[in-house]
């Protein structure tokens, strides 16, 4: 059996984030064993195959900010999905103190 790719490691970590919680790109990179490769996490999430069930929308910036431009389809989808799980999003931000995943 081959070693998972960097993308697969990221997807595995993101799949563990429970509903109602968020994680930062840096936190996901660290948990996937990729150190300080937070930007790579964003790229890996952008490569998710269609029909996946990985909760990409639970990953946000360490400041609590949604990374997509406000008003974009991706932004609106992310905010909707987070709110659906009970995560408060105010002015494009989530309180990391309240909602950050702490495994």
Distance (Å, whole) CA 62 – CA 59: 9
pLDDT value, residue 87? 98
Per-residue pLDDT tens over the stretch 4-48:
899 999 999 999 999 999 999 999 999 999 999 999 999 999 999
Per-residue pLDDT tens over the stretch 36-84:
999 999 999 999 999 999 999 999 999 999 999 999 999 999 999 999 9
Domain ranges for the chain: 6-99
Asked if the 6-99 domain carries CATH number 1.10.10.10, the reply is: yes
Q: How confident is the model at residue 97 (pLDDT cuts 50, 70, 90)?
A: very high
| DSSP-derived secondary structure for 22-39 | BEEHHHHHHHTT-TT-HH
Mean pLDDT across 77-100: 98
Distance (Å, whole) CA 33 – CA 6: 9
pLDDT value, residue 79? 98
Distance (Å, whole) CA 89 – CA 67: 13
| DSSP-derived secondary structure for 12-24 | HHHHHSPTT-BEE
Q: How confident is the model at residue 2 (pLDDT cuts 50, 70, 90)?
A: confident
- Which of 27, 9, 16, 15 is CA-nearest to residue 96? 27
pLDDT value, residue 12? 96
User: Two tokens at 67?
Assistant: 């990374």
CA 99 vs CA 4, 47, 48: distances in Å = 29, 25, 24
């Amino acid at each position: 059996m081959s070693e998972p790719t960097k993308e697969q490691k990221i997807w595995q970590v993101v799949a563990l984030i429970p509903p109602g919680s968020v994680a930062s790109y840096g936190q996901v990179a660290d948990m996937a064993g990729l150190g300080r490769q937070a930007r790579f996490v964003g790229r890996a999430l952008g490569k998710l195959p269609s029909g996946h069930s990985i909760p990409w929308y639970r990953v946000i910036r360490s400041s609590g900010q949604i990374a997509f431009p406000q008003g974009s389809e991706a932004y609106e989808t992310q905010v909707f999905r987070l709110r659906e799980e009970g995560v408060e999003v105010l002015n494009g931000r989530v309180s990391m103190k309240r909602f950050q995943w702490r495994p």
